[in-house]
Amino acid sequence: MRKKVLALVMAGAMILSVTACGKGETSNGDTSAKNDTVEAEGTEEAEDTQAESESGSYKIAYVVKALNMQFWTDMKAGAEACAAENGVELTFQAPDKESDVEIQVQMVENAITSGVDALILSAADSKALNPSIVKANEAGIPVILVNDTIDDAALEADGGHYETYVGIDQYESAALAGKYCVENLEKGKVAILEGIPGIVAHEQRLEGFKDTVEEAGFEIVASQTANCDRNEAFNVAQNILTSNPDVSIMWATNAEMGQGAIQAIEQLGKTGISVFDFDASDDDMETIKAGTLVGTVDQYPSKQGEYAVNAAIAVIKGEKLDPITSVPAELITKDNVK
């Protein structure tokens, strides 16, 4: 009997400590490096502004979908740099995985309870965050959406609203890659690697590219999901290329899948396939320089972060914003790679 109790207590302690650590990361100044140089200053200034907060600088909560990919850490860097420059206190949080919708809801509600001046949100689900947005409205906290869209009709029906959506147009940005194909490549067969089924951003990227090339007469011979996973993309690409050996163009809706496809192509020893993907990760830059990736869409996550923070500050100061704050996306190729 004693042993059982001890085991239960140990298990409980383990689970508690693990969930406490694992519940998501809050920014404490530990940023990953990309190009932005301000992060070191950002850390110090964030600490300075904490002192300032006692005397009343703005508090902004920035909640995104996850911090396990370069896209989000880049956005974090951009946001924190902007916050530091403007003397605002920023807390940047996210759950472990993009699919942890519930945890994101908890984070948002905690931020509302702790009384922030503005909330910036990259919603993990197009509908599930709506009640939290309404709660923020009721608490008088302005809400700014970034990068991920939500179901506007549903939000309106719930009686909620947000100040602005900061982001790129996923569809148009994907079309940039499509246009490049139409303008620079011969008409050929196209294979597409889709993202996790049901995520709106990926669906828009899929459509954007697909419509553009189909209009110009390219043929889509295969379109399969690889669930945003590099290994799965490798396997799926391998299978697609085996049954469609004359594919000349591949489009992946994120960088991990693009890299997986590149590996598969290399392993199969094939040449002459033009690969495009989305997100402009460090790996993407390397492979563009090496010539195995033709183009990647950079949605400048750090710029998005910066724009979002600026928008938040503007709103707090009382300005009215446009419903959509566009952040420019750009197709990176060997011509303009850094």
- Contact flags string 131-160 toward other proteins, x per CB under 8 A: ------------------------------
Q: Does 2 bind other proteins (CB under 8 A)?
A: no
Site for other proteins in 271-330 (CB under 8 A): 281-283, 286
Q: How many residues bind other proteins (CB under 8 A)?
A: 49
Contact 138, 172 (CB under 8 A): no
In the complex, minimum distance from the CB of residue 266 to other proteins, in angstroms, rounded to a whole number:
8
Pairing, β 324-326 against β 274-278 = unpaired
Site for other proteins in 194-223 (CB under 8 A): 194, 197, 222-223
Q: Which two tokens stand for residue 51?
A: 């002192």
Question: What residue ranges in the chain does DSSP mark as E strands?
Answer: 25-26, 59-63, 89-94, 118-121, 143-146, 164-167, 189-194, 219-225, 247-252, 274-278, 295-298, 324-326, 330-332
Stretch that binds other proteins, among 4-12, 35-43, 110-118, 176-184 (CB under 8 A): 4-12
In the complex, minimum distance from the CB of residue 19 to other proteins, in angstroms, rounded to a whole number:
7
Q: How far apart are CA 145 and CA 306, in angstroms?
A: 13
What are the helix (H) ranges across 196-254? 200-215, 230-243
Q: Which residue, chain included where needed, has tokens 């938040």?
A: 312
Q: Which is nearer to other proteins, 15 or 51 (CB)?
A: 15
**Residue of the chain from 234, 251, 300, 307 that contacts other proteins (CB under 8 A):** 234
Site for other proteins in 19-38 (CB under 8 A): 19, 21-22, 30, 32
Residue type, 126: S
Q: Which residue, chain included where needed, has tokens 């298990």?
A: 11
Q: Which residue, chain included where needed, has tokens 């302005």?
A: 142
12: enclosing H helix or E strand: helix 2-22
**Residue of the chain from 168, 177, 206, 240 that contacts other proteins (CB under 8 A):** 240
User: Residues in the site for other proteins, rule: CB under 8 A?
Assistant: 3-4, 6-7, 10-11, 14-15, 18-19, 21-22, 30, 32, 67-70, 72-73, 96-97, 194, 197, 222-225, 227, 230-231, 234-236, 238-240, 242-243, 256, 259-260, 263, 266-267, 281-283, 286
